[in-house]
Chains A and B, each alone.
Chain A
Amino acid sequence: MSRFIVRRFLSVIPTLFIIVTLSFFLIRLAPGGPFSREKKVPPEILQNLMKKYHMDEPLLNQYFRYVGNVLQFDLGPSFKYKDQTVNELIGTAFPVSATLGFMSLAVALILGVSVGILSALKQNKWPDYLAMSVAVLGISIPLFVIGPVLMLVFALVLKWLPTSGWVNSRAGWATVILPVTTLMFPYFAYIARLSRSSIIEVIRSDYVRTAKAKGLKDSVVIVKHVLKGALLPVVTFLGPAFSGIVIGSVVVERIFVIPGIANIFVQAAFNRDYTLIMGDLIVYSLILISANFIVDILYGLLDPRISYK
């Protein structure tokens, strides 16, 4: 197991390296640059700017300089926000995105599994039908449709919740409700369907019948016997769910005007803010890769049949 963890950990390095290299050259090869604006900058000033950001050197030199800096956890200065470094920009935005992401994942997981249990126990009765219809809805409706519609209904028509902003605004934690609901909905739906079907399968198995025959209480059987076996597919889904939530946050942060890293990312891509895009991409890749890493380890711990050699 520990050998597996080390090997898995080492395999992260080439992946990150490929991501950095690929996106570095991809961004530089595109026409235009951070200093090409509507109003032309005089050539002398442009030259000075290029010099300041080392953009006048050959591309390979720039690449090695960048990789060297990244290895020292320095993501460089922002091209657009002149007095801030990428580290500072991402540092202030990251907690916001992390809160949003983790809350969505937690709500999706807790709600999804509970609805899954309920549905499986009341199979083919009305709570089951109701829950599964909602789940199909959740899977079919894209995030950018759910978000605006929820905002229209609950914020603009009923005026129960604020339309946008984040916890530090006047409305406080109420601002979190709509974005989290939007972001978690598809994953809640998928987790509910997944856990329902796997619980139904496990309930029919012999060891659950034995547990019931022993006279154990239903609640004990569900929690101790059924869930342990039935949650494996849900754990496997956590990896894709996490990356889905990370990508989805791009849209959700945009709709609800949340000052997170996804908003910065899209802005930076439009502004050609080279260092900021790269920094954001590296942070995202790290999040995704470590999420998959954790899920792999978790899976091994939960399922003794899987041996990592």
Chain B
Amino acid sequence: MPVLNKKNDNAVNEFNQYVKPVSLWADAWKRLRRNQMAVIGMWVVGIYLLITFGAGILPFYSYTDQELLHANLPPSFRPSGVVALEKLETRQVELVDALANTGREDLKRDLDRVTAEIAQVKLEVNTNPIHKRVYIMGTDYLGRDMLARTIYGGQISLMIGIVGTVTAGLIGILLGALGGYLGGWVDNLIGRFVDIMYSLPYMLVVIIIMSMIKDSTNATVLGLPINIIILFFAIALVSWLTMSRVVRGQIISLKNSEFVEAARSMGAGSGRIIFRHLLPNTMGIIIVYSSLSFPSFIMNESFLSFLGLGVSAPYASWGTLVAEGVQGMQLYPWRLLVPALSMTIFLFAMNFLGDGLRDALDPQSKNRT
């Protein structure tokens, strides 16, 4: 405005500079990148996702291939034929010693079997390509590659986490936003329902459901056995409760603010106000909460699988692998440690990422621990 021209208008000061606007997301991204643990967590989670869902095109062994000669091999970088031969030979020496001391009949049969196996492996070790395999994570009791089993087990575990998070997002956001914005009887109805669901000992009910349907049917839906589908469903059913409460609280605190009033005065309807004005402003908290609850879905699934109620053979999840590993852990500790460690590292990374996201997106958070 030329009227207000003054002599120091050309001077550079903080009021007449063009400052590049910084969006909320860019700001959050900057804060997140400064948090080293969160960045490491993000990389780890990314690598896990890449490997588990890209397992089909990556050069891993099949997770169902059983090679009984390779049962319970320890982790090693050498070809499996050599490792198996070594293991069998130590077993042979042990058996010969034991036989000399006790002279038990059953040991003799064992010795014969071991000797025959040694002969077979020796014959094939340089010709059969199976003996050229390298099991860097060892094998399980049926001679399946632990690495491949852990990766394919991760597929199911991660899928459950994703299904839980997505349904929690969709249902929780919708019901939370409706209840919070409309208030009145809608809010009351949703609130009471959530309260009752909360007070149910839900995991126990799921244990009952899963044990009832466990072997009653062999039907498959979408190529997955029915009990995995029901497991998905059971976990998704309660996943949204906390999300709806979180969203409801946010919406209530925002719905009387000026920008909503402005939108309403310009004639915006409820739908537009909820989806275009309120929800984008709660997105930060929704993302934070989702990333923090993702590990808990995986833990719930593994918990059921550990009890033998979740995913069953030939499918595997981290929970079933740990449960299998527990059975022989004294002699073959890698069968427990490989799935247990892979799972722990993922949950660890996910927790750090979640904490980092919370600090980045919700700097004034009250639920910080």
Contact = CB atoms under 8 A, between A and B. Distances in A.
Chain B facing A: main interface SS? helix
B330 A145 contact: no
Contacts of A143: 303
B333 interface: yes
A142 interface: yes
B295 interface: yes
Interface string A147-178: 01101100010000000000000000000000
A172 B282 CA distance: 54
B286 interface: no
A269 B203 CA distance: 13
B368 A152 contact: no
A208 interface: no
Contacts of A255: 326
A149 B340 contact: yes
Nearest to B216: A31
Interface of B: 196, 199-201, 203-205, 207-209, 211-214, 216-217, 295, 299, 302-303, 306-307, 319, 322-323, 325-326, 329-330, 333, 336-337, 340, 343-344, 347-348, 350-352, 368-369
Contacts of A23: 205, 208
Nearest to A243: B201
6 contacts: A19-B200, A23-B208, A26-B209, A31-B212, A142-B343, A281-B208
B211 A251 contact: no
A26 B208 contact: yes
A19 B340 CA distance: 35
A139 B216 contact: no
A27 B303 CA distance: 21
Given A148-B329, A156-B330, A269-B211, A289 B199 contact: yes
Contacts of B217: 31
A266 B368 CA distance: 36
A79 interface: no
A281 B206 CA distance: 12
Interface of A: 15, 18-19, 22-23, 26-27, 30-32, 136-137, 139-145, 148-149, 151-152, 156, 190, 193-194, 196-197, 243, 246-247, 250-251, 254-255, 265-266, 269-270, 272, 277, 280-281, 284-285, 288-289, 292
Contact of A142 (B200, B201, B299): B299
A179 to B, nearest CB: 15
B329 A251 contact: no
A281 B204 contact: yes
A149 B306 CA distance: 14
Contacts of B352: 136
A142 B347 contact: yes
Chain A facing B: main interface SS? helix
A279 B303 CA distance: 23
Given A197-B368, A288-B201, A148 B211 contact: no
B344 A152 contact: no
Nearest to A272: B212
A262 B203 CA distance: 12
Contacts of A27: 208, 212
A273 B333 CA distance: 36
B336 A149 contact: yes
Contacts of B369: 190, 193-194, 196-197
A186 to B, nearest CB: 10
A247 B205 contact: no
Contact of B323 (A18, A144, A243, A272): A144
Contact of B336 (A15, A137, A148): A148
Contacts of A196: 369
A38 to B, nearest CB: 12
Contacts of A243: 201
B368 A139 contact: no
B28 to A, nearest CB: 21
A289 to B, nearest CB: 6
B329 A144 contact: no
B195 to A, nearest CB: 9
Given A144-B322, A243-B201, A284-B201, A30 B216 contact: yes
A144 B303 contact: yes
B330 A152 contact: yes
A145 B343 contact: yes
A32 B306 CA distance: 24
Given A141-B344, A250-B207, A270-B211, A32 B216 contact: yes
A243 B322 CA distance: 24
Contact of B201 (A141, A156, A281): A281
A232 B159 CA distance: 37
Given A140-B351, A141-B347, A247 B196 contact: no
A166 B157 CA distance: 33
Contacts of B209: 26, 30
A239 to B, nearest CB: 10
Nearest to A269: B211
Given A15-B199, A140-B295, A285-B200, 18 more contacts: A26-B208, A26-B212, A30-B209, A136-B352, A140-B347, A142-B303, A143-B303, A148-B322, A149-B337, A190-B369, A194-B369, A247-B203, A250-B204, A254-B307, A265-B204, A270-B211, A277-B208, A281-B201
A231 to B, nearest CB: 14
A32 B216 CA distance: 7
Contact of A247 (B204, B208, B302, B323): B204
Output the residue of A145, A196, A270 with the most chain B CB within 10 A: A145
A140 B347 CA distance: 5
The 5 closest A-B pairs by CB, nearest first: A30-B212, A269-B211, A193-B369, A140-B347, A140-B348
Contacts of B203: 247, 250
Contacts of B323: 144
Contacts of A142: 299, 302-303, 343-344, 347
Contacts of B347: 140-142
